[in-house]
């Protein structure tokens, strides 16, 4: 009887021990996260997706894909992810498992290497999930949006202080007043038409600049960092040139004022304005003369906005140009309501031109340094 009880106790002990060990011994393997970036017309990407579907039943994997050809946000994420792993985004497919990045795919070469990595992760030789890095990059995107707000606002403010824009508007108002000083309404409509032309044309220029940088980033992603450094240095240079003009002003200074040789042509064109419609048409043409002295900050902000999807960059571009034309709107309204004469505006501009350069220079220099240090 005692021996039976003893055997029963042993069996019960084994069963209890088995019930404790079994769940951990036969627990389902945690899925291995595989992040991959692909293009919808990329044949190598399609080969990878077909291959990963084939091995799904053999390995506990969790593949998560991001399409980059038609989704700029995913392309930006791919660039960030590559940088996080010490790589550069060179194209698709880009596959990330644990802490390794695989560029390109072929069943004969890449597939066996990826398979070995998956098996190593099953044997608990992996500790990182690339999905955690995706979350980290997305959190950085939120910070980047805040930096974008600061950059756009400050660069637009600096660009709006440019003496070129105020001088050109003053010439347009003078031309309208010369026809009939008593018709203030025509001055108001003409001034606003001229400003609208500048705003619309600059929006078009901005769109072209942003698209240009997007093409560079997509086609030559390996040099994206160098392009950014170049425009950061450009901002620093423009800032320094503006500050230099505070101490030693020279009319027509390179990259910050309209070249002297363009001015007679521009004055002749603007003096032909006789109506609001004429002001609008000539305003479009005159933006070509404004570009040499306003293009610097615009190129810098275009480079910054090109990192965003079009849906996100367009509102920033609109905001930039609204801020850019605000001083011109204010001048037009002051003249219309008789609070200031055009001569008062041009006199104020000429008197304070050094200070305008100083403020703009400090702002643009600060943005350039922030870009170099990675804050923007």
Evaluate whether residue 133 is within a structural domain.
Answer: no
Shared domain for 345 and 200, answered yes or no, is: yes
| Residue 112: Cβ-neighbour burial (10 angstroms; 0-12, 13-18, 19+) | exposed
Domain count within the chain: 2
Shared domain for 229 and 305, answered yes or no, is: yes
pLDDT digits (tens, 9 = 90+) for 121-138: 888 767 677 777 777 665
Q: What's the pLDDT at 224?
A: 66
61-67, strands of its sheet edge to edge: 61-67, 32-38, 94-97, 100-103
Evaluate whether residue 360 is within a structural domain.
Answer: yes
More confident residue, 296 or 181: 296
Whether the CB-CB separation of 94 and 36 falls below 8 Å is answered with yes
Evaluate whether residue 295 is within a structural domain.
Answer: yes
At residue 178, φ and ψ (nearest 5 deg) are -65, -30
Look at residue 335 and tell me whether its pLDDT is greater than 60: yes
Distance CA 41, CA 91 (A): 13
Of 104, 128, 152, the residue at which a domain comes to its end is 128
pLDDT digits (tens, 9 = 90+) for 66-117: 999 888 788 888 888 888 788 888 889 999 988 888 999 999 999 999 999 8
Shared domain for 311 and 349, answered yes or no, is: yes
Whether the CB-CB separation of 45 and 105 falls below 8 Å is answered with yes
Strands 100-103 and 94-97: antiparallel
| Residue 87: Cβ-neighbour burial (10 angstroms; 0-12, 13-18, 19+) | middle
Of 128, 161, 189, the residue at which a domain comes to its end is 128
Shared domain for 72 and 164, answered yes or no, is: no
Model confidence band, residue 320 (pLDDT cutoffs 50, 70, 90): very high
E strand map for the chain: 32-38, 61-67, 94-97, 100-103
Would you list the DSSP string of 153-194? Answer: HHHHHHHHT-HHHHHHHHHHHHHHHHH-TT-HHHHHHHHHHH
Evaluate whether residue 227 is within a structural domain.
Answer: yes
Q: What's the pLDDT at 214?
A: 82
Shared domain for 117 and 256, answered yes or no, is: no
Distance CA 37, CA 73 (A): 12
Shared domain for 366 and 309, answered yes or no, is: yes
Whether the CB-CB separation of 369 and 231 falls below 8 Å is answered with no
Residue 88, C-beta contacts closer than 8 angstroms, at least 6 positions apart = 82, 221, 222, 224, 225
Distance CA 33, CA 121 (A): 10
Q: What is the mean pLDDT of the chain?
A: 80
At residue 67, φ and ψ (nearest 5 deg) are -80, 130
Distance CA 230, CA 214 (A): 15
Shared domain for 118 and 199, answered yes or no, is: no
Q: What's the pLDDT at 308?
A: 76
Q: What is the DSSP letter of 256?
A: T
Query: Left, alpha or beta for 93 (phi > 0: left; psi -120 to 50: alpha)?
Result: beta
Percentage of the residues of the chain whose pLDDT score is greater than 70? 82
Shared domain for 241 and 100, answered yes or no, is: no
Shared domain for 122 and 166, answered yes or no, is: no
Q: What is the mean pLDDT of residues 139-162?
A: 75
> Residue 67 sits in a domain of what CATH number?
3.40.30.10
Distance between start and end Cα atoms, the chain = 83
Shared domain for 119 and 197, answered yes or no, is: no
Structure tokens at 335: 């003249």
More confident residue, 255 or 296: 296
Evaluate whether residue 316 is within a structural domain.
Answer: yes
User: Residues in the chain, how many?
Assistant: 376
Evaluate whether residue 273 is within a structural domain.
Answer: yes
Q: What's the pLDDT at 136?
A: 66
Of 128, 153, 176, the residue at which a domain comes to its end is 128
pLDDT digits (tens, 9 = 90+) for 181-235: 667 788 888 889 989 999 999 999 999 999 888 888 767 666 767 877 888 888 8
Shared domain for 162 and 253, answered yes or no, is: yes
Evaluate whether residue 70 is within a structural domain.
Answer: yes
Structure tokens at 95: 């596959």
pTM of structure: 0.62
Shared domain for 206 and 339, answered yes or no, is: yes
Evaluate whether residue 260 is within a structural domain.
Answer: yes
Structural domain including 289 reads 144-372
Hey, what's the torsion of the CAs at 171, 335, 162, 296, to 10 degrees? -70
């Amino acid at each position: 009887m005692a021996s039976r009880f003893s055997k029963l106790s042993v069996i019960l002990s084994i069963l209890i021990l088995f019930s404790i060990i079994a769940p951990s011994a036969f627990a389902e393997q945690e899925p291995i996260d595989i992040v991959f970036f692909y293009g919808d017309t990329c044949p190598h990407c399609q080969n990878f997706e077909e291959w990963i579907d084939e091995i799904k039943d053999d390995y506990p994997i969790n593949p998560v894909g991001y399409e980059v050809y038609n989704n700029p946000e995913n392309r930006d994420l791919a660039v960030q992810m590559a940088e996080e792993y010490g790589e550069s985004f060179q194209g698709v497919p880009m596959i990330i498992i644990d802490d390794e990045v695989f560029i390109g795919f072929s069943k004969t070469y890449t597939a066996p290497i990826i398979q070995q990595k998956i098996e190593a992760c099953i044997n608990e030789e992996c500790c990182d999930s690339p999905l955690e890095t995706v979350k980290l990059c997305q959190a950085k995107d939120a910070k980047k949006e805040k930096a974008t707000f600061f950059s756009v606002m400050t660069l637009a403010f600096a660009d709006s202080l440019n003496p070129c824009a105020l001088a050109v508007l003053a010439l347009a108002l003078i031309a309208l007043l010369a026809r009939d000083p008593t018709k203030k309404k025509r001055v108001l409509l003409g001034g606003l038409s001229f400003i609208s032309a500048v705003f619309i044309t600059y929006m078009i220029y901005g769109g072209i600049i942003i698209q240009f940088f997007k093409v560079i980033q997509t086609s030559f992603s390996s040099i994206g960092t160098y392009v950014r450094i170049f425009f950061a240095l450009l901002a620093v240079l423009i800032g320094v040139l503006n500050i230099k003009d505070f101490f030693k002003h020279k009319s027509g200074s390179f990259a910050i004022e309209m070249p002297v040789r363009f001015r007679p042509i521009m004055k002749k064109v603007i003096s032909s304005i006789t109506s609001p419609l004429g002001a609008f048409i000539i305003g479009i043409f005159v933006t070509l003369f404004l570009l040499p002295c306003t293009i610097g900050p615009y190129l810098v902000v275009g480079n910054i906005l090109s990192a965003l999807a079009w849906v996100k960059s367009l509102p920033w571009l609109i905001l930039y140009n609204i801020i850019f034309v605000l001083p011109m709107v204010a001048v037009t309204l002051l003249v219309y309501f008789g609070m200031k004469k055009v001569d008062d505006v041009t006199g104020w501009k000429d008197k304070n031109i050094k200070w305008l350069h100083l403020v703009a220079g400090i702002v643009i220099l600060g943005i350039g340094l922030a870009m170099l240090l990675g804050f923007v």
